[in-house]
């Protein structure tokens, strides 16, 4: 029997990009998929692609805690208790010191961090009661340190890592796994206008397969691709002055130019 067979996987941001690709892969591996998204049209398209497979969906904004809880209850009523949460919904907005907007910073914190907390709250009590479950948060290599023009995004993903770390320690004795996934750049609609070297942009199917494999293995933390992950770790651990200098070389438009 496949690892995900008869397991209910709840995916936020399931209507497009990485969330959709994960939904398709997990359904192929036997999971019953519950998809949440902001708009009904992408969910309807996903339902068509998953025709004949267990699937339920609901429209919900992860920043709206009460509406999200109702949406989770709706799909749970159709498929059963959630075994796997993939908190994938996220946004990225350019957020530079030279034109700093607290509104843009807040928007990213609300979706990328508070939205995950809301998603966890909606499924965790049932997991604790059953002493079974797996929480997965889609973070980023950008969580390792602050980067120019990505202030809100980096801060939100760093906070997400801390949230997941704390949950992991406390929930392991209760039979609940927690995984933080930190990918580099993935080719999705959100990254369509991001100017990065082609060698650093991963194709969506490959990235999704790697994430599903990490979930299957129960890895507590998974950062990839390995070359970029090593670079991110180095920037995190180097003395601040040297780390800042290296970041300025890599992001000249966000520094002294």
Q: Which among 4, 144, 153, 185 is annotated as catalytic?
A: 153
Name the token pair of 218: 């129960």
| C-alpha to C-alpha distance for 90 and 150, rounded to whole angstroms | 14
Q: pLDDT per residue over 94-133, tens digit each? A: 999 999 999 999 999 999 999 999 999 999 999 999 999 9
**pTM here?**
0.94
| C-alpha to C-alpha distance for 97 and 177, rounded to whole angstroms | 37
Reply yes or no on whether 222 is catalytic: no
Cα distances from 257 to residues 145, 195, 248, in angstroms, run 21, 17, 10
The CATH topology of domain 8-228 is Rossmann fold (3.40.50)
User: Which residues are 122's β-sheet partners?
Assistant: none
191 pLDDT tier (thresholds 50, 70, 90): confident
Name the token pair of 40: 């009904």
Beta 221-224 vs 176-183: how paired, if at all?
parallel
255 pLDDT tier (thresholds 50, 70, 90): very low
Domain locations in the chain? 8-228
- Closest alpha carbon to 229 in 214, 218, 216: 214
């Amino acid at each position: 029997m496949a690892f995900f067979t008869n397991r209910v996987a709840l995916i936020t941001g399931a209507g497009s990009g990485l969330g959709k690709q994960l939904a398709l892969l997990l359904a192929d591996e036997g999971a019953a998929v519950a998809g949440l998204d902001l708009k009904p049209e992408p969910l309807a398209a996903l339902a068509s692609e998953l025709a004949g497979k267990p699937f339920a969906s609901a429209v919900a904004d992860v920043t709206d805690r009460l509406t999200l809880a109702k949406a989770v209850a709706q799909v749970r009523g159709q498929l059963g208790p959630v075994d796997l949460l993939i908190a994938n919904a996220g946004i990225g907005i350019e957020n530079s010191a030279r034109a700093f907007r607290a509104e843009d910073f807040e928007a990213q914190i609300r979706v990328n961090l508070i939205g995950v907390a809301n998603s966890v709250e909606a499924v965790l009590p049932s997991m604790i009661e059953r002493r079974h479950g797996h929480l997965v948060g889609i973070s980023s290599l950008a969580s390792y340190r602050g980067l120019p023009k990505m202030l809100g995004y980096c801060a939100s993903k760093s906070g997400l890592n801390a949230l997941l770390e704390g949950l992991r320690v406390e929930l392991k004795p209760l039979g609940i796994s927690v995984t933080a996934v930190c990918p580099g750049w993935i080719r999705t609609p959100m990254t369509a206008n991001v100017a990065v070297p082609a060698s650093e942009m991963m194709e969506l199917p490959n990235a999704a397969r790697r994430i599903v494999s990490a979930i299957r293995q129960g890895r507590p933390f998974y950062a990839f691709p390995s070359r970029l992950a090593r670079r991110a770790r180095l920037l995190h651990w180097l003395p601040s002055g040297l780390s800042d200098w290296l970041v300025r070389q890599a992001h000249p438009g966000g520094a002294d130019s």
